[in-house]
Homo-oligomer: A and B are copies of this chain.
Amino acid sequence: MTHLQAQLEEWSNRTEKLQKRLREAGLQGCLVTQNVGIYYYTGAMQTGYLFVPAEGDPTYYVRRSVARAERESKVRAVELVSFRNFGEQLAADYPWLGQSASGQAKPAVGADLDVMPAQLYLRLAEAVPQVSLTDSSSLLREARSVKSAYEIDCISVAANVAADALSEGLEALKEGMTELELMAVIENAMRLRGHVGLMRMRGYNQEIMTGVVAAGEAAAEPTYFDGPAGGRGLSEAAPQSASLRPIGRGEPILIDIGCCIDGYTIDQTRTAVIGALRPELQSAYDTAVAIIRRSEQWLKPGAIPEDLYAEALRMASEAGLSKHFMGFGKDQVKFLGHGIGLEIDEWPVLARGFRSALEAGMVIAIEPKFTFPEWGVVGIENTYVVTETGYRPLTQSPERLFELP
């Protein structure tokens, strides 16, 4: 098979998987409006709207750049003639759309309403009056949760870059340098190896730079970021991640980093210290390691995501660290790990309520961490792919507490 054939097969598999879900859900099709979703189903990321019918070929209606979409898209790309008349253009391409067997209620078409702005939603309802737009966020997130071999390779490439960047960071790390200086070394290493310069996150108002590099009590500052460790950040207008605080001796240095290579992201955490950790932190770090080992034992097809979270909670409690697990006190997050791929906050989440069994091909970052408001954050994070028989780690960095002289 040529590279091009492989690519076309990769993309047509994605469409077929989605179409199966659409038919099961009784939807006539799905409108994908978010750039990441469009890329996943077309291989292009130009401005426009993708319509995936429950059966038949998708069409990518492009505003700009049509030329580039035509070149890069694996599905048919056409110019969106006019947003106002989008419904007519759809009707010409899909005459059956909006026709209901019973002649009763408007047939439903799914859409990515978790990310589509309300203004666009209201305008689409007018522009495409023949159907009723319904929220298919869960369906779309589930459809992307199992990765193909191609996608797993992409994430592995990103994992290698993160490992190289961590090595460069650790080499540069010395007492008195600021969190930002350490972060800049790591970012520069990732950028020169092809990090696209941003990481994508699906949650509304959620942002991520290239992770969090933070030390001591600055790492423990609570934030809006939906993760166990936020960090002080540089400003109240960017209140997470690295700050200008100098890194001191004997304090935990949380290096929670990721990058985005060819669209795919990786996420990993290592803890470092100049000197040694105080016993309480060393013990909490050991508990984090024990939790990730236990998670690995459970990580296989058929396992229930919320069970892994519950077991981690149990182990944290057994260690007397409940209040410190995954953030401190009221600012704790309620998960142990998260799917990752084109976005860093994909499904499944290892959290209460996620009861669908794990499947081979899911890629999950597991990140047990303990927060001590006065001392900082310790923990570990690896990204794994679930295999037929268990798991394979994608993270390449050596797994240990990095104790520097």
For the complex, give the distance between the alpha carbons of A331 and B70 in Å: 13
Alpha-carbon distance A120/B230, docked complex (angstroms) = 24
Nearest B residue (CB) for A137: B119
Most chain-B CB neighbours within 10 Å: which of A67, A119, A187, A330?
Answer: A119
Min C-beta distance of A52 to chain B, whole Å? 17
The answer on a CB contact under 8 Å between B119 and A205 is no
The reply to whether A120 and B120 contact each other, CB–CB distance below 8 Å, is no
Cβ-defined partner of A118 (8 Å) among B113, B236, B238:
B113
- Residues of B with C-beta under 8 A to A72: 236, 239
For A64-93 the 0/1 string (1 means CB < 8 A from B) is 111110001000000000000000000000
The smallest C-beta distance from A14 to any residue of chain B, in angstroms, reads: 14
Decide: A196 and B238 in contact? CB cutoff 8 A. Answer: yes
Q: Answer whether residue A8 sits at the interface, using C-beta atoms and an 8 A cutoff.
A: no
CB < 8 Å neighbour of A196 from B65, B198, B233: B233
Q: Contact at B237–A262, with CB atoms within 8 Å?
A: yes
Query: Per-residue CB proximity of A167-192 to B under 8 Å, as 1/0?
Result: 00000000000001101100110011
A34 within 8 A of B: yes
Which of B118, B198, B222, B235 makes the CB contact (< 8 A) with A121? B118
What B residues does A35 contact at CB under 8 A?
A: 205, 207, 224
* Nearest B residue (CB) for A66: B330
Whether, in the assembled complex, A45 has its beta carbon less than 8 Å from a beta carbon of chain B, the answer is yes
Q: How far is the CB of A150 from chain B (nearest CB, A)?
A: 12
Asked whether any CB of chain B lies closer than 8 Å to the CB of A44, the reply is yes
Q: Which residues of B contact A331 (CB under 8 A)?
A: 64-67
**A window 210-263: CB within 8 A of B:** 210, 221-224, 226, 230, 233-239, 241-242, 244, 260-263
> Shortest distance in angstroms between A151's beta carbon and chain B's nearest beta carbon?
11
How many copies of this kind of chain does the complex include?
2
Query: What residue in chain B is nearest A242 (Cβ atoms)?
Result: B197
Q: A residues within 8 Å of B by Cβ?
A: 33-35, 39, 43-47, 64-68, 72, 111, 113-122, 135, 137, 180-181, 183-184, 187-188, 191-192, 194, 196-198, 204-205, 207, 209-210, 221-224, 226, 230, 233-239, 241-242, 244, 260-264, 330-331, 342
> Which B residues are CB-close (under 8 A) to A122?
113, 135
Q: A35-B224, A205-B47 are in contact. Are A330 and B67 (CB under 8 A)?
A: yes
Neighbouring B residues of A111 by C-beta, 8 Å? 118
The answer to whether B237 touches A39, judged by C-beta atoms less than 8 angstroms apart, is: yes
Q: Which residue of B lies closest to A184 (CB)?
A: B191
Find the B residue at minimum CB distance from A210: B197
CA distance A230 to B68 in the complex (A): 11
Q: Find A68's partner among B39, B115, B222 (CB 8 Å cutoff).
A: B222
Could you say which residues of chain B place their CB within 8 Å of the CB of A44? 236, 239
A124 smallest CB distance to B (angstroms): 9
